[in-house]
Amino acid sequence: MNKDSPEMAIPDHAEELDTEDMDKTISKGVKPIELDREERLASLVVLSGPQTGRIFRIGDQPMLIGRSKGCHIYLPEEGISRHHAQVEREESGDVSLSDLRSTNGTFVNGQQIERQKLNDGDKIQIASTALLKFTYQDSIEEFFYQNQYEQATRDCLTDVHNKRHFQAKLREEFAYSLRHDEPLSLIIFDIDHFKRINDTHGHQAGDLVLSQLARMVHRNLRQEDLIARYGGEEFVIILRNQGEKGAFATAERIRREVEAASFRWQEKRIPVTISLGIATLVQGICHDPSELVQLADEQLYHAKRNGRNRSVDASLGFTKKRTRSGSGGRSGSGSTSSSKGAGDSTSEGGEPLAG
């Protein structure tokens, strides 16, 4: 613009006009969501107690509710009978609930029942601990509840279960193992020198390692096992009905696969190893789940102290009181396995998971 020419007058409200113009609603052809054509399916949603958030769709076959693992709706609480109640669809299409002569009773909307037809929205109380809601849902509602459950129980980065779900599941499995005198093993592991990975390659590379590692470990587990992210680079594995030897073999299989795997970030290979601590529940050794976590955590500590990239387990039936020296050391360990020459002699320790 020529410096001698008059300056163009800019209205004071120009910026306001631009903002209003940008903020206009765009007109689009909106197609209504067709809900009426879809059949609404009968379901039970667990509102509180064991399995909170789970949805159980009611089919044509009767469904047992109880603390037995053979039940369709498994609610592992001591106050719930093994076969507590049954829900079934009648010939008319209605859904009814029957109490199976349970010890602590079945209630619908606060009233104890023997058998009752269910209506949409009914609240079902099983003993004093579990509360369920009977509802008819379409696929959109079912997806919403399922998504809510997944968000509440899974870690958003690795897609394995989160700490809260692990703690609830461990309480269930611990009680079941003691009641039926069946073995239960726990593995705690973390990534060796994970801070070094973040410092060298960046936190995005660290996130990549965490997510790929979680998927790799999950592939090595049985369907009945559970892996969860406990926090940071620490993970836990519950091995149902798995004794000491089987748990140690599982840990070693996972450790070797991780060591041999190729983790790559921006065309650079990131060497990754893990250290694992293993504990197996034996009658008389642990009296609550936190003691089993502590025992496995102590073995992880020994794996770190003895060079990392190794599996350490507490020997079957071998109990040790936790002792601390002036340097903060812990009691001796059980069986150990590692790659020859792997890691270094420096102790990394890490934060304990329990205590």
CB 276 within 8 A of CB 255: yes
Give long-range contacts, CB 8 A cutoff, 24+ apart: 57-60: 57/142, 58/87, 58/89, 58/95, 59/89, 60/89
Cα 10 from chain centre? 60
Residue 310 is given by DSSP the state E
- H/E stretch holding 99 reads strand 95-99
Torsion of CA 69, 71, 77, 78, to 10 degrees: -90
Please list the active-site residues: 233
What are 230's two structure tokens?
A: 């406990």
Residue 92: CB atoms within 10 A of its CB come to 8
Cα separation, 153 vs 47, whole angstroms: 14
Answer for the pair 100, 83: CB distance below 8 angstroms, yes or no.
yes
Strands ordered across the beta sheet of 184-191? 226-231, 234-240, 184-191, 274-281, 310-313, 336-338
